[in-house]
């Protein structure tokens, strides 16, 4: 017996899918709106009253340049990473394809008295992203720290070397799959490691 799909059923199914599609939120912040207008794949989200924009990592340095040159964000406060390996309570934002790592930067405009957070996803099998040190020179040490502790490579960084761990250290201690080990620490006046 051959069954033929009823077109009326398919149309109703399509209508239900259309009803359940979630439109990305309209940015309530004009800086976030400017980023979303320039980069079609940008997703706006608000977190604890702060505007957050999720962007594709290919646009990471471009967004930093846009914020500095067009939006008067003269300071990048920090760059850090998050390792979501085994994170069962992770908040997933509609329209954002979650990856193992997220790179997070917080930008500040003294002129506008405003902050904005920019986040990008970085997959575990390709942990390279553009450096924003050429745009915000003060991020050199923050990017080196992320490189040292998470193993994220910042392409175009002028001196991407370890900053906290010894040069011969194997691994990246803030990765959730890095092997925990006891590191002997000798304190002043201590006879030796225990």
Per-residue pLDDT for the chain (194 aa), expressed as one digit of tens each?
Answer: 444 445 444 555 555 555 555 566 788 899 999 999 999 999 999 999 999 999 999 999 999 999 999 999 999 999 999 999 999 999 999 999 999 999 999 999 999 999 999 999 999 999 999 999 999 999 999 999 999 999 999 999 999 999 998 888 889 999 999 987 666 656 666 665 55
Q: Give 100-135 pLDDT, tens digit per residue.
A: 999 999 999 999 999 999 999 999 999 999 999 999
Sign of CA dihedral 142, 147, 148, 150: positive
pLDDT of 27:
87
Domains and CATH numbers, the chain: 25-155 (3.30.460.80)
120 and 60 Cβ atoms separated by less than 8 Å: yes
Q: What does the CA dihedral 155, 157, 159, 162 come to, rounded to 10 degrees? A: -60
Output the 3-class SS for the chain.
CCCCCCHHHHHHHHHHHHHHCCCCCCCCCHHHHHHHHHCCCCEEEEECCEEEEEECHHHHHHHHHHHHHCCCCCEEEEEEEEECCCCCCCCCCCCCCCCCEEEEEEEEECCCCEEEEEEEEECCCCCEEECCCCCCHHHHHHHHHHHHHHCCEEECCCCCCCCCCCCCCCCCCCCCCCCCCCCCCCCCCCCCCC
Listed residue (109, 107, 111) closest to 132, CA to CA = 107
What is the Cα–Cα distance from 153 to 161, expressed in whole angstroms? Answer: 10
């Amino acid at each position: 017996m051959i069954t033929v799909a009823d077109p009326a059923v398919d149309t109703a199914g399509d209508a239900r899918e259309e009803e359940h599609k979630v439109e990305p939120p309209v940015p309530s912040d004009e800086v976030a709106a400017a980023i979303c207008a320039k980069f079609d794949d940008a997703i706006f989200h608000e977190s604890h009253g702060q505007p957050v924009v999720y962007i594709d990592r290919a646009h990471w340095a471009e967004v930093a340049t846009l914020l500095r040159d067009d939006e008067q964000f003269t300071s990048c406060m920090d760059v850090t990473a998050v390792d979501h390996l085994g994170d069962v309570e992770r908040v997933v934002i509609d329209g954002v394809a979650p990856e193992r790592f997220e790179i997070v930067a917080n930008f500040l405009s003294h002129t506008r008295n405003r902050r904005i957070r920019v986040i990008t996803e970085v997959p575990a099998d390709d942990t390279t992203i553009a450096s924003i040190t050429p745009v915000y020179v003060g991020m050199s040490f923050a990017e080196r720290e992320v490189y040292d502790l998470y193993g994220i490579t910042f392409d175009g960084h002028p001196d991407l070397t370890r900053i906290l761990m010894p040069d011969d250290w194997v691994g990246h201690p803030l990765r959730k799959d890095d092997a925990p080990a006891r590191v002997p620490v000798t304190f002043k006046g201590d006879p030796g490691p225990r």
